[in-house]
Amino acid sequence: MQTNISASVIEQLSNLLFTIGQPARIQILFTIREQPACVCHLEAALGLRQASISQHLMTLRGAGLVETIREGRHIYYKLVNPQVIDLLVGAAKICACPLEDLFPLSQSPVPGCPCPRCNPGISPELSCKKTSSQ
């Protein structure tokens, strides 16, 4: 018995896998898996440039995988559907990747991170430069 699979379903799955298939996007998703993070936190945690992170976040947001939360002058990114992490963990298991290498990305505080979540007592003027562009 052959089942006809809708082309749109296949397209949706393909688009999802294509969207999350970038190394930086996988890192971002694992970093925000437990709690939201701002761009400056992602910069410190991942060692990537702000412009690059912002581009990846825009793509993830456009795909409906992340959303923003505003707290004062800070913008944080969070997972819309945490099941995307389950998908990535499943893929890591298929590839025999050590999961212990992925989970530390979501740990806070991150040394050198100026965000208020890593430095609760820091002055708002000193944390997260350029929050308006995020």
Q: What CATH number is associated with residue 57?
A: 1.10.10.10
For residue 2, is it within any domain?
A: no
For the stretch 80-112, pLDDT in tens is 999 999 999 999 999 999 888 888 888 878 888
Does residue 25 surpass a pLDDT of 80? yes
For residue 30, is it within any domain?
A: yes
Can you read off the two tokens belonging to residue 64? Answer: 């409906």
For residue 12, is it within any domain?
A: yes
Please indicate whether residue 43 or residue 129 has the higher confidence score (pLDDT).
43
Residue 126's pLDDT is 56
For residue 3, is it within any domain?
A: no
Mean pLDDT of the 42-60 span: 95
For residue 1, is it within any domain?
A: no
Query: Domain of 99?
Result: 8-133
| pLDDT tier at 2, thresholds 50, 70, 90 | low
Domain count, the chain: 1
Looking at every residue in the chain, the average pLDDT score rounds to 87
For residue 55, is it within any domain?
A: yes
Sort 38 into a burial class: Cβ within 10 Å, 0-12 / 13-18 / 19+: buried
Determine what percent of the chain is predicted with pLDDT higher than 70. 87
